[in-house]
Amino acid sequence: MVQLSRSVDNRPSLGLRVGTSIKREYEETIQEKYGSVQPYAAIELERELEYYLGEGDLNDLSRAIDELSDRLDSCDGKEKNNSARSRARTETTVVQYHIQHSIQQQIRNQEDYRTPGNLVEDIMFSYAQHEGTIRQEIGRIKRLAEQLEFDEMETDSQSTTERRIDAIIQGLSGKSQFTLEDFEDAVRKISTIDSTPYIKNKYLPKVVDKMGCTWHPKRENLFINEDKDWIPEYRDPRNKSKWLMTEDDERLAIKIDAFNTANGRGSSYSVEDARIMLNSNPQKNKIKQLMKDIADSSPGYKYSSDREELLARRKIIKRYTKENTDILNRINDNSDNPV
């Protein structure tokens, strides 16, 4: 943890330009949290930048929670950030906080952002929205604790699960199709559970299956009767609700997304790109393994462990039609389906 009594003698001013409104929101959050902007604005930003770079105690904590989440087979994950790259700037200002020189050097070498200022702005915006990574990690620990408590309460798990599935279906009033919001409303009618991520992950697939429904090929979180004759044979798993996603779905979604972002000579697709596309459902280590699996089984894909990126080369992928049938069928499927 960064010490509050540290000297700033060896920490140069950051000197990067960010959106004025983002900086103001960030400092207002710091003021509300600590009662003073200085020195906490610099301390918190330095810690968040260190975390972004995969360093420090906070990063170790996050990895430990990831491992616990994986062992519990939880769907819990951090919320994806709204990228600063998608926000228009109307007015900018310079951030003059004193940040470690080594951190400044590293963020100036990042390739995922157009400028280092965009990166800093994104992190400040995320902090203002979520009160920092520590607060998000505390939330994850609480959700995992709730899951453990819930599992321990289910002594007669099979019969309890079946009763709840039937109660949810009854709450859906025999609908031939329903939305995620309809499902959540039906869950809330059951006094013993609530519509938490864990409940959605556990019960939604079972309800969809028992009702003879499937996921809509274009509209995420809409579930329709599986007998619809206009449902295409090959659907894009990126349009599938994250609560229904299997590991095979996640792997295929990454393959398609990496292919679609590749240029003529091939381009790199990062672990963070996959996390955003999958709405942060799987953990980072799992995404790395999925990328490695893709590279091992699909010609035209190559995984870089050093950069944590998947390289997709379109010409090679298209040449190996047998090995890449799963993705090529979906790319070549241009049928006009209802939206």
* Topology match between the domains 154-225 and 245-331: yes
At 72 the pLDDT is 67
Q: Which of 195, 16, 213 is nearest to 97 (CA)?
A: 16
At 339 the pLDDT is 37
Q: What distance in Å separates the CA atoms of residue 102 and residue 205, rounded to the nearest whole number? A: 47
pLDDT in tens, the chain (339 residues): 444 444 445 789 999 999 999 999 999 989 988 899 999 999 999 999 999 888 888 888 888 887 777 766 665 555 444 444 445 556 899 999 999 999 999 998 877 778 899 999 999 998 988 878 888 888 888 778 777 766 655 554 557 788 889 999 999 987 889 999 999 999 998 877 777 887 888 899 999 999 999 999 999 999 999 888 889 889 999 999 999 999 999 999 999 999 988 865 556 888 888 988 888 666 777 888 999 999 999 999 999 888 889 999 989 999 999 989 998 888 764 444 443
At 113 the pLDDT is 79
Query: Taking a C-beta distance cutoff of 8 angstroms, is the pair 269, 309 a contact?
Result: yes
At 337 the pLDDT is 42
Per-residue three-class SS string for the chain: CCCCCCCCCCCCECCEEEEHHHHHHHHHHHHHHHCCCCCHHHHHHHHHHHHHCCCHHHHHHHHHHHHHHHHCCCCCCCCCCCCHHHCCCCCEEEECCECCHHHHHHHCCCCCCCCHHHHHHHHHHHHHHHCHHHHHHHHHHHHHHHHHHHHHHCCCHHHHHHHHHHHHHHHCCCCCCEEHHHHHHHHHCCCCCCCCHHHHHHHHHHHHHHCCEEECCCCCCEEEECCCCCCCCCCCHHHCCCCCCCHHHHHHHHHHHHHHHCCCCCEEEEHHHHHHHCCCCCCHHHHHHHHHHHHHHCCCEEEECCCCEEEECHHHHHHCCCCCHHHHHHHHCCCCCCC
The domain limits of the chain are: 16-143, 154-225, 245-331
At 137 the pLDDT is 85
Does CATH place domain 154-225 in 1.10.10? yes
Report the predicted TM-score, pTM, of the whole model to 2 decimal places.
Answer: 0.56
Please give the CATH architecture assigned to the domain spanning 245-331. Orthogonal Bundle (1.10)
At 197 the pLDDT is 81
At 265 the pLDDT is 52
